[in-house]
Copies of this chain bind each other. A is one copy, B any other.
Amino acid sequence: MFSIHTITNKPWSVEQCIARYAAAGVQGITLWRYNFEGRDPAAVGRMIRDAGLSCTGLARAGFFPAVTGAARSAAVDENRRAIDEAAASGAPVLVLVCGAVPGQPLEVSRGQITEGIAACLDHARAARVKLAIEPLHPMYADDRSAIVTTAQANDVCDALGSPPEVGLALDVYHTWWDEALPAEIVRAGQGNRLFSFHVCDWRTPTVDLLNDRGLMGEGCIPLRSLKAQVRAAGFTGLDEVEVFSTRWWAADQDDYLARIVRSWQEHCA
């Protein structure tokens, strides 16, 4: 059972994604905020439900760290707007790419992330939207995320007092290299923090830091092992296929969707 993140089929509008995913027998869809441009999030949510799809989440908010207090307050406001969009569209989870400021010590940024999430908690609780901290790969530590390990994501949850609204979005691409990952998955499971599980693959060679991910089976990530670990730790949601790929975005998207389905069946089912 899986969903697809709309960024995977970037050339398609959200309407095309909804229609094609439903027709292909895909169970769910994950949205990106750009999907709402010129649209009402509530209407997008209705379209998803009318197509029989489950909405697994919304990407992305976060980016809490900033040099000035005014900029950090603005980030909190922006996160609250994203929470409202998630609630309106029926996305149960808002994924947080937590942010970093080049040159600012990572521990300072992690402190600002913790404060930023704390400032969004009441809003998220009232909106019944969960916040999923996504640890990013360390190659994004400069300006995208000071949270680069699953341990650090768990640490932020702990620092916040383990509120039920805050958990993790675990993406195999960002985390597969980490020796501590198995233990941290168990730790996240014990805290009921496993909100999202993203699958793709790591290609050899990888020629771009952002947009050269592989489809499941095209790389070296131990997908079945990681999926078994999150399941054993209590994750019951849909796998989310999330592939940023210039190469695949250039392909015929209908052929590509058929390949995504086969790829998930062969490597994750």
Contact = CB atoms under 8 A, between A and B. Distances in A.
A175 to B, nearest CB: 9
A177 B219 contact: no
A236 interface: no
Interface in A76-118: 102-103, 105-107
B139 A206 contact: yes
A202 B152 contact: no
B137 A139 contact: yes
Given A206-B209, A207-B209, A209-B207, A178 B138 contact: yes
Q: Which of A142, A178, A219, A222 has the most CB of B within 10 A?
A: A142
Contacts of A222: 105
Interface string A130-152: 00000001110111000011001
A68 interface: no
A266 interface: no
25 contacts: A102-B204, A102-B219, A103-B220, A106-B179, A137-B138, A137-B139, A138-B138, A138-B177, A139-B139, A139-B206, A139-B209, A141-B176, A141-B177, A142-B202, A142-B203, A142-B206, A142-B219, A142-B220, A143-B204, A143-B205, A143-B220, A149-B179, A205-B209, A206-B209, A208-B209
